[in-house]
């Protein structure tokens, strides 16, 4: 079940309980063109097939997020997928998350995004 009373001012981080601990999955912010994005940086951690817990996915849709962007900081490369497409191309992983192969993402300009000091815990 998702519980979010009011979304904080942008940008804000999305946190979720995984494997018994709270982890930060990414952040919601505006892209240069003003569209809402969910940004997930990878730097100094192993890359796995991108996935989203269903409650997080539903929160992102309700918040009006258009793009899910995966950013590889060490390579300064980024890839995106329209969030509305995720439920059509995803499979359900063994952990119950919506899993989207990176090949379903398209290359995009490397985004800079602001630091998020606020967060929302999605349940």
Domain-wise residue ranges, the chain: 12-122
Instruction: Give me the pLDDT at residue 7, please.
Output: 63
Q: pTM of the predicted model, to two decimals?
A: 0.90
The closest alpha carbon to 2, from 60, 47, 41, 49, belongs to 60
Instruction: Give me the pLDDT at residue 3, please.
Output: 45
Binning pLDDT at 50, 70 and 90, where does residue 2 land?
Answer: very low
Cα separation of 42 and 71, whole Å?
6
* 83-111 tens-digit pLDDT: 999 999 999 988 889 999 999 999 999 99
Cα separation of 90 and 98, whole Å?
5
Which position has the higher pLDDT, 5 or 71? Answer: 71
């Amino acid at each position: 079940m998702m519980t979010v009373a009011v979304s904080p001012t942008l940008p804000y981080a999305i946190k979720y309980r995984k494997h018994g601990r709270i982890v930060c999955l990414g952040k919601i912010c505006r892209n240069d063109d003003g569209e809402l994005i969910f940004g997930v940086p990878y730097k100094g951690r192993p890359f796995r097939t991108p996935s989203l817990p269903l409650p997080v996915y539903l929160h992102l849709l309700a918040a009006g997020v258009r793009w899910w962007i995966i950013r590889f900081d060490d390579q300064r490369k980024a890839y995106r997928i329209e969030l509305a497409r995720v439920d059509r191309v995803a499979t359900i992983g063994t952990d119950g998350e919506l899993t989207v192969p990176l090949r379903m993402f398209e290359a995009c300009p490397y985004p800079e995004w602001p630091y998020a000091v606020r967060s929302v815990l999605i349940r």
